[in-house]
Structure 1
Amino acid sequence: MADIFDKAKRRKIMQAIRGKDTRPEWLVRKCLHRHGFRYRLHDRRLPGRPDLVLRKYNTVILVQGCFWHGHEPCRIGRLPKSNRTWWEEKINRNRARDQRNLFLLEKLGWNIWTIYECELRTATDRAQTLGRLLCYLHGRQKVEYTLASETAERYEVVEEELIFYTSNPKG
């Protein structure tokens, strides 16, 4: 199917897509702040300018858009049908850059936690993902996470259910 916009209009639309302060990033930031974690945003001194840097925990958190970072398991990460070769090259370049930055961050001794936007879409997914993150940051102790203003449901994340990696196991 052909694009409904001409090239100039499509270019303007694509340029308007934000790289910082996205909704998924805000959800993670609000959760961390609510639980007493303080962080630095987009630290230019680190490779790839990670979204959140928690120096005290020697951890960086990357909040990735599924489409732009080629998250294969989810439907949001699918490539458009038009101009497919260009998009494949673009997403592959993004992935290569991500891998290079992850390698450099690991080499510098940082723990890396990657969260994809699809892991924050529903209230249940959000509670599980953020609960795992909080458990990791709290040093693997039991954490109770309540979704503020979304639902009155409470979720418990228990240490035994988790397998810890240097990066998010779902990513």
Structure 2
Amino acid sequence: MDHSVARPAPLDAATSARLRRQPRSATKPEVALRRELHRRGLRFRVNHPGLPGRPDLAFTRAKVAVFVDGCFWHCCPDHGTLPRNNRDWWRAKLDRNVARDRAKDAALTGLGWSVLHVWEHEAPGTAADRVEAEWRQRLPSVTS
């Protein structure tokens, strides 16, 4: 991790506190997707520690890794924004997040895994359709 750019001082205490409270796992979009996939009978590991990047969901038999990405933190092309304050620092920070995402994808692919990214704004049912289709493709003998 590149620490050459010093973290700017927080604009105010309220902003700093809000960002600290942002959950890193079990976010609302992630939980909604998990519930929908579980309802469909799919079983998975959550934040699998033995895999690069600790995927939000890991279907170990099918080797499908799923990441539920926040629009801000992962630079969604539709909803990603760049703060007005400390713009250069934030651009570098978010670019590092995206580069780290691609490195995790490459590491997982190198291990034979299929990697899916779901945006936080995707409807759980639509995202579950994509995940289930990939799961079925990788395990053609599975029927439900």
TM range (shorter): 0.7 to 0.9
2:108 is equivalent to residue 105 of structure 1: yes
Of 83, 86, 91, which aligns to 1:83?
86
- Give the distance between the partners of 1:46 and 1:135, measured in 2 at CA: 22
The 5 A counterparts of 1:57-96 are 57-72=62-77, 74-75=78-79, 77-96=80-99
Of 55, 59, 62, which aligns to 1:54?
59
Structure 2: unaligned runs, 5 residues or longer: 1-9
- Give the distance between the partners of 1:14 and 1:136, measured in 2 at CA: 34
- Give the distance between the partners of 2:101 and 2:137, measured in 1 at CA: 26
Of 116, 129, 132, which aligns to 1:131?
129
| Segments ≥4 residues shifted beyond 4 Å | none
Q: 2:99 is aligned with what amino acid?
A: A
> For residue 5 of structure 2, what is the aligned residue in structure 1?
none
CA RMSD of superposed structures (Å): 1.9
| TM-score using structure 1 length | 0.70
Amino-acid identity (%): 35
SS at match of 1:92: helix
The 5 A counterparts of 1:1-171 are 6-72=11-77, 74-75=78-79, 77-120=80-123, 126-139=124-137
Structure 1: unaligned runs, 5 residues or longer: 121-125, 142-171
Matched residue pairs, number? Answer: 130
Deviation (angstroms), 1:134: 1.9
Q: 2:76 is aligned with what amino acid?
A: H
